[in-house]
Amino acid sequence: MKFTNGYWLLREGVEAHFPAQALERQQEGNELAVYAPDAPVRSRGDTLNRALLTLRYSSPMKHIIKVKITHFEGTIPRNPQFELNTDPAFAPNINLGPAEAVLSTGDLSVHIPEGTPWNVVFRGGGKILTKSEAKAAGYIRFQSETYIKEELSLGVGEYVYGLGERFGPLIKNGQTLDIWNADAGTASEQAYKNIPFYLTNQGYGVFVNSSGKVSFEIGSEKNSRVQFCVSGESLEYYIIYGPEPKKILERYTALTGRPPILPDWTFGLWLSTSFTTAYDEKTVMSFIDGMADRGIPLSVFHFDCFWMKGFHWCDFTWDEATFPDPAGMLARIKAKGLKICLWINPYIAQRSPLFREGAQKGYFLKKQDGSVWQTDMWQAGMAIVDFTNPEAAEWFTQHLNRLVDMGVEGFKTDFGERIPEDAVYHNAGNPGGYHNFYTYLYNKTVFEFLERKKGPGKACLFARSATAGGQKFPVHWGGDCESTFEAMAETLRGGLSLGLSGFGFWSHDIGGFEGNPNPGLFKRWLAFGLLSSHSRLHGSYSYRVPWNIDEESVEVCRFFTRLKANILPYLLESAQEAHEQGLPVLRAMFLEFPDDPVCPFLDRQYMLGPSYLVAPVFSPEGNVEYYLPPGEWTHVIDGRTQTGGTWIRETCGFLTLPFWKRESNEKKD
């Protein structure tokens, strides 16, 4: 949110209060507390009729500094709190010197000078990382609302990454972004997975600890600052030191959580019924047998929405007109060696037999008058399950339990973004705070149920929406992209951005979701999709079995599915890194080569784990241009070798793409 009108002026109607001096600095337990009035205090009269901001600096663990800026400390917080891994007993070093107060933790420190002007400096490894300078922190009144903001400086050549699964430019400088989940596809500034965390190429990351809307101005209001603000009376954020980007992610995910180990079968090929297609057991078996007959290894079969009756989503009951023997069908599928996934969402349509039960027992979000909050958008008269009610969460998973007992292995937890801002929750929480956080409760409920049911390391979701900490409930996929080369590139940017936001696993709809891919696009997307951490054939209007596109697609699908199976041990090692260190399997080049001046800008290629480089082909003609970093590389498909540090242009057939492995002695930690 922009509060200024150019460099000199405030927007009309904005009342701003900025810390002008560190009037008092004192140690309070393990905190460094700074009391900062909004104007210099030169006499006793200057202490009257003005705002006083309280800034508290502490550390939850080594190399991380927590900052809390507050105006009125008596305000009762109503937003849900992220589940952070902190050590209350950890004690940073605090030094109250005559010239400046310093809090240090590991290689990170914050320096608050005495007096004026206001200039807080964060240092890491002996160098300045970023600063909160004059008029950076502030308390704002605007249009009857109050906000707390902070601005952190950007240095020359400093680039910002992360902030969730964002489909625009990988480098976020110059963008205005709101952390606010939306069901908006992949072609706008809105996103399904909004994460209030960014990292830069200058050795640090910033996590804004707010589950509500966080507005970011990334060099877009003031060119040399990142501003973030929240509504209310306090703002809390964390500075996380690296300096390497891998270390930043490792420490960020130590704070917010890391993905668990996933079952090996999840890394194989998933095949879906697609969305609006007509299908029954005969159709499903023809797909499964057709893949086997064509020598394409298949791991998971997914039933999308219409395994249930229309207007009934969700009643967790098979449409008996289409599937008269669901238990028998699932047994027959499992006998072919496949796992089974079912589509669900957290909404209960009015036509569902479960609607009346949920309404009577208070399991849904409500309106202010106590009635059920309902809408016709998506499903007629649908209600939204209130996961702040433990009984509602248990009720929801009881219905999943009978499906798991029937043979279902996992669930596609779709939706979770269209959550109203005016609803009443069981726990009386702030609905604005729960808009983003709802998806955390939804996916946590389902994932932890599967872990209890099947055991650790055996649970898996296929989720669309997420917020900070959602990486603990994998896998996530990229949502509703179009069937175009442009959307394929958008999709990759989204995956790279999500990986730089702490998420270890990610997938996307091969061929695009909206529309019908032409054969050339589909075959190029097959190579990209099968060289991602997780791979799924899915669409909206048409079956995505490869022979439905053309016969050459069968060959391409077979080739790359088998290729992925051959590198499965390597993928499992990369998955272990995600679990232990918070590193994504699909990685931006900048993450693996932070010192290479070319890599910060690359968003049409990626590293698959630490050693494999992949450059998808985004042109109908097969033309591709990519950068091979310094080192010795071997092409995985054709065996040729190449010394890196160079750009390469080539034209690829459908059975190849740039897929290189760097020699082990070039592998970086």
Residue 75 has pLDDT above 70, yes or no: yes
pLDDT at 284: 98
Is the pLDDT score of 280 beyond 50? Answer: yes
Plot region of 568 (φ>0 → left; ψ -120 to 50 → alpha; else → beta) = alpha
Does the bond joining 629 to the residue before it have cis omega, within 30 degrees of 0? no
Task: Determine the residue type at 560.
Answer: F
Strand-strand pairing, 269-272 and 535-537: parallel
Tokens representing 185?
A: 């596809």
Instruction: Give pLDDT, residue 667.
Output: 43
Q: Which CATH architecture has domain 16-158+201-256?
A: Sandwich (2.60)
Residue range 319-342, pLDDT digits in tens: 999 999 999 999 999 999 999 999
What is the pLDDT confidence band of residue 665, given thresholds at 50, 70 and 90?
low
HSE at residue 595, side-chain half, CA atoms within 13 A, is 4
SS3 sequence of 290-353: HHHHCCCCCCEEEECHHHCCCCCCCCCCCCCCCCCCHHHHHHHHHCCCCEEEEEECCEECCCCH
Among 140, 125, 146, 150, which Cα is nearest to 57's? 150
Q: Do residues 208 and 162 make contact, with C-beta atoms less than 8 angstroms apart? A: no
Nearest Cα residue to 444 out of 419, 469, 417: 469
Four-way CATH pick for 588-666: 2.60.40.1180, 3.90.550.10, 1.10.150.120, 3.30.210.10? 2.60.40.1180
Q: Are 315 and 356 in contact (CB under 8 A)?
A: no
22: β partners: 115
The reply to whether domains 16-158+201-256 and 588-666 share a CATH topology is yes
Q: Please tell me the distance from the alpha carbon of residue 565 to that of residue 271, in angstroms, as a whole number.
A: 16
Domain ranges of the chain: 16-158+201-256, 264-581, 588-666
pLDDT attached to residue 181: 98
Kindly report, residue by residue over 224-242, the tens digit of the pLDDT: 999 999 999 999 999 999 9
> Quick one: pLDDT at residue 88?
86
Reported confidence tier of residue 115, pLDDT bands at 50, 70, 90: confident
- Band of residue 367 on the pLDDT scale cut at 50, 70, 90: very high
| 293-321: average pLDDT | 97
Q: Which residues are catalytic?
A: 414, 417, 480
Segment 380-432, tens digit of pLDDT: 999 999 999 999 999 999 999 999 999 999 999 999 999 999 999 999 999 99
CATH architecture of 264-581: Alpha-Beta Barrel (3.20)
526: which 2 tokens?
A: 């097959």
Burial status of residue 481 (CB atoms within 10 A of its CB: 0-12, 13-18, 19 or more)? buried
Beta pairing partners, 205: 199, 240
Condensed to tens digits (0 to 9), the pLDDT of residues 468-491 reads 999 999 999 999 999 999 999 999
pLDDT for the residue 669: 39
Phi then psi dihedrals of residue 523, to 5 deg:
-70, -35
pLDDT of residue 78: 87
The three-class DSSP label of residue 241 is: strand
Tokens 């726990």 correspond to 427
Q: Percentage helix, strand, coil, to 5, in the chain?
A: 25, 30, 45
* Confidence band of 497 (pLDDT split at 50, 70, 90): very high
Per-residue pLDDT, 89: 86
Burial state string for 380-392 with b = 16 or more CB within 10 A and e = fewer than 16: eebbbbbbbbeeb
User: By C-alpha distance, which of 585, 614, 590, 605 is closest to 171?
Assistant: 590
Average pLDDT of the segment spanning 495-509: 98
Q: What is the rounded distance in angstroms from the CA atom of residue 363 to the CA atom of residue 358?
A: 5
pLDDT of 357 over the 70 cut = yes
- Polymer length in residues for the chain: 669
Closest CA relative to residue 69, chosen from 114, 5, 13, 118: 118
Q: What is the CA radius of gyration of the chain?
A: 26
- Return the DSSP state at 127: E
Return the DSSP state at 107: T
Could you give the 3-state DSSP secondary structure of residue 121?
Answer: strand
Task: Give the integer Cα–Cα distance in Å for 642 and 147.
Answer: 54
Q: What's the CA gap between 545 and 623, in Å, rounded?
A: 26
DSSP 464-522: --B-TTGGGS--EE----BSSHHHHHHHHHHHHHHHTTT---EE-EET-SBS---HHHH
Share of the chain above pLDDT 90, in %: 97
Whole-angstrom CA distances from 493 to 164, 181, 214, 564, 570 are: 11, 18, 22, 22, 23
Q: Count the neighbouring beta carbons within 10 Å of the beta carbon of residue 516.
A: 16
pLDDT for position 508: 98
Beta-sheet strands, E only, within 114-268: 120-124, 127-132, 138-142, 145-153, 160-164, 175-179, 194-200, 204-208, 214-218, 225-231, 234-241
**In this predicted model, what pLDDT tens digit does every residue of 1-49 receive, in sequence order?**
999 999 899 999 999 999 999 999 999 999 999 999 999 999 999 999 9
pLDDT, mean of residues 540-560: 97
- The helix or strand, by DSSP H or E, that contains position 526, with its residue range, turns out to be helix 519-529
Distance CA 564, CA 571 (A): 9
* pLDDT on residue 198: 98
- CA trace torsion 199, 200, 204, 208 (10° rounding): -40
Distance between CA 88 and CA 12 in Å, rounded? 43
Helix (H, G, I), strand (E, B) or coil at 85: coil
